[in-house]
Amino acid sequence: MPGDDSLELFPDAAPVRVPHNAPLAERMRPRSLDEVVGQEALLAPGTALRALADAGRLPSMILWGPPGCGKTTLARLLADRCQARFEPHSAVMAGVKEIRAVVERARREPRGAPPTLLFLDEIHRLNRAQQDALLPHVETGLLTLIGATTENPSFEVIAPLLSRCRVFALERLSTEALREVVVRAARDPERGYARSGPEVPEEVVDALVHAADADARRALGLLETAVAIHAQSGDAAAPLSLAALREAVGQPVLLHDRDREEHYNLASAFIKSLRANDPDAALYYGARLLAAGDDPLFLARRLVIFASEDVGNADPTALSVATAAYQSLERIGMPEGRIPLAQAITYLACAPRSNAAYLGMDRALEAVSQHGSLPVPMHLRNAPTGLMKSMGYGKGYAYPHDAPEGFVATRNLPDALGDARFYEPRGEAAEAEIAERLAAWRKHRE
């Protein structure tokens, strides 16, 4: 790369100048644009940003993307590529005073000196006055601004500043890109664990990528923690284990109140009696809980949950009955509150059953757990600003009320989920009609 090597923050020909004991995520930062993974749409040869960087003509810009996708790294590499003086700040800590200090340093630079690149991480944290302070210096070119944000710049960056910057949207890291980040760290002999760390089996890489949910910083942090846990296991020569990774990720702590076991026994009997269509047993166990001094609202909350979990769309009125009982109990208290409780208990115990809606939500949550934060299809996104419209937000959306029969046969799930089905109505009682309509709609979509 041309120019004095002392000006380069991440020269291609030399290792990254970070302490050997720096966090793994810092040690593994890409040292050139060609090492960046997952952002090919921005950095492939011939793309606008790559062409500008290669020409050394960097405009002020906003880098918009999810956490851990490489915004800070990209800003550093762009500064290096253009041989700019890199001034990094976090908008959480920086204000007008810090911005003015950067401006003064830029003004004192002699003619022909490298340009000053002000990097503001989390630029959405700057208030309007602080953003206004940037305007004249971005306008004159005294500063080249790179702002990084996880928030939509249409909402978080003032219009005058946004009009002076190009917005580049970084992609959420794919599974393949995140896997490459992890494998690179495991196999790098200089900055990673190829020499001093354990072997990282494929199953551990897969689990780590899943746990990181597209965040490269989190992936490397989890790997570093898991390796540290593994080192204390007494078998440092063994491959990194899933157990070490699970401990690094953290498991929920389950709390058990053993001093009130009978409370949980009675609550379990109450719910299972409702589910068994046995109003007599449900009333009995409900009365036992009340007589034992339990909070009546505990019973009422369980009824509201049961109305959706076990009755569901087989009798949509059940939720209204349970909610009304809860609200009545709140307003009138005990002992009269036992009367609406009794009505709700007997109604729910005698209602038809369907847990299809409840199971549908669990299936959807499982899909979220498996696939992470999949991008919302463009036609479903809101586009209140010109920038968002220009990026394709809302393109192709058809308003169902304007369509024949009020139905549009578009696919609305993310592409990665295909034709996944979460809600499968059981076709009993009131849900039978729902099942018939849904089957017809799904047939049209297919």
Q: How far is CA 242 from CA 203, 207, 391, in A?
A: 8, 8, 41
Domain membership flag for residue 197: no
Burial of 184 (0-12, 13-18, 19+ CB in 10 A): middle
Does pLDDT of 272 surpass 60?
A: yes
Give the end of a domain, one of 128, 144, 169.
169
Does pLDDT of 261 surpass 80?
A: no
Does pLDDT of 160 surpass 50?
A: yes
Q: What's the confidence (pLDDT) of residue 197?
A: 87
CB 95 within 8 A of CB 128: no
Quote the pTM value.
Answer: 0.77
Total number of domains in the chain:
2
Q: What's the confidence (pLDDT) of residue 5?
A: 37
Domain membership flag for residue 69: yes
Domain membership flag for residue 163: yes
Q: Which residues pair with 61 in a beta bridge?
A: 146, 166
Does pLDDT of 119 surpass 90?
A: yes
Mean pLDDT of the chain: 89
Domain membership flag for residue 362: no
Q: How far is CA 248 from CA 1, 194, 210, 211, 221, in A?
A: 40, 20, 13, 10, 9
Domain enclosing residue 59, as ranges? 32-169
Q: What's the confidence (pLDDT) of residue 35?
A: 94
Q: What's the confidence (pLDDT) of residue 25?
A: 94
pLDDT digits (tens, 9 = 90+) for 321-357: 999 999 999 999 999 999 999 999 999 999 999 999 9
Domain with residue 86: its CATH number is: 3.40.50.300
> Could you tell me which of 344, 329, 350, 330 has the C-alpha nearest to residue 286?
344
Domain membership flag for residue 415: no
Does pLDDT of 13 surpass 80?
A: no
Q: What's the confidence (pLDDT) of residue 442?
A: 85
Give the end of a domain, one of 107, 139, 169.
169
Does pLDDT of 7 surpass 60?
A: no
Using a pLDDT cut of 90, give the percent of the chain over it: 70
Domain with residue 263: its CATH number is: 1.20.272.10
Give the end of a domain, one of 136, 169, 202.
169
At residue 444 the predicted structure's pLDDT band, cuts being 50, 70 and 90, is confident
- How far is it, in rounded angstroms, from Cα 321 to Cα 20? 64
Does pLDDT of 409 surpass 50?
A: yes
Does pLDDT of 284 surpass 80?
A: yes
Burial letters for 208-230: b for 16+ Cβ neighbours within 10 Å, e otherwise?
bbbbbbbbbbbbbbbbbbbbebb
Q: What's the confidence (pLDDT) of residue 6?
A: 34
At residue 147 the predicted structure's pLDDT band, cuts being 50, 70 and 90, is very high
Q: Which residues pair with 145 in a beta bridge?
A: 118
At residue 255 the predicted structure's pLDDT band, cuts being 50, 70 and 90, is very low
The conformation of residue 214, written as its DSSP 8-state character, comes to T
Using a pLDDT cut of 70, give the percent of the chain over it: 93
- How far is it, in rounded angstroms, from Cα 184 to Cα 27? 12
HSE, CB side, 13 Å, CA atoms: give it for residue 194: 11
Q: What's the confidence (pLDDT) of residue 33?
A: 94
Does pLDDT of 124 surpass 80?
A: yes
The residues, ordered by sequence, that sit 6+ positions from 5 with a Cβ below 8 Å of its Cβ are 11, 13, 14
Mean pLDDT of 205-228: 94
Q: What angle do CA 438, 441, 443 make, to 5 degrees?
A: 110
The residues, ordered by sequence, that sit 6+ positions from 352 with a Cβ below 8 Å of its Cβ are 311, 314, 315, 428, 429, 430
Mean pLDDT of 156-174: 94
Mean pLDDT of 30-52: 94
- How far is it, in rounded angstroms, from Cα 319 to Cα 303? 9
pLDDT digits (tens, 9 = 90+) for 349-403: 999 999 999 999 999 999 998 888 899 999 999 999 989 999 999 999 999 998 8
> Could you tell me which of 151, 111, 145 has the C-alpha nearest to residue 130?
145
CB 145 within 8 A of CB 112: no
Burial of 400 (0-12, 13-18, 19+ CB in 10 A): exposed
In which element (H, E) is residue 116 found? strand 116-121
Which two three-digit tokens encode residue 132? 């206004």
The conformation of residue 350, written as its DSSP 8-state character, comes to T
pLDDT digits (tens, 9 = 90+) for 53-92: 999 889 999 999 999 999 999 999 999 999 999 999 999 8
The residues, ordered by sequence, that sit 6+ positions from 32 with a Cβ below 8 Å of its Cβ are 10, 12, 77
Domain membership flag for residue 363: no
Q: How far is CA 36 from CA 176, 181, 207, 399, in A?
A: 13, 9, 22, 40
Domain membership flag for residue 316: yes
Domain membership flag for residue 11: no
For residue 6, give the amino acid letter: S
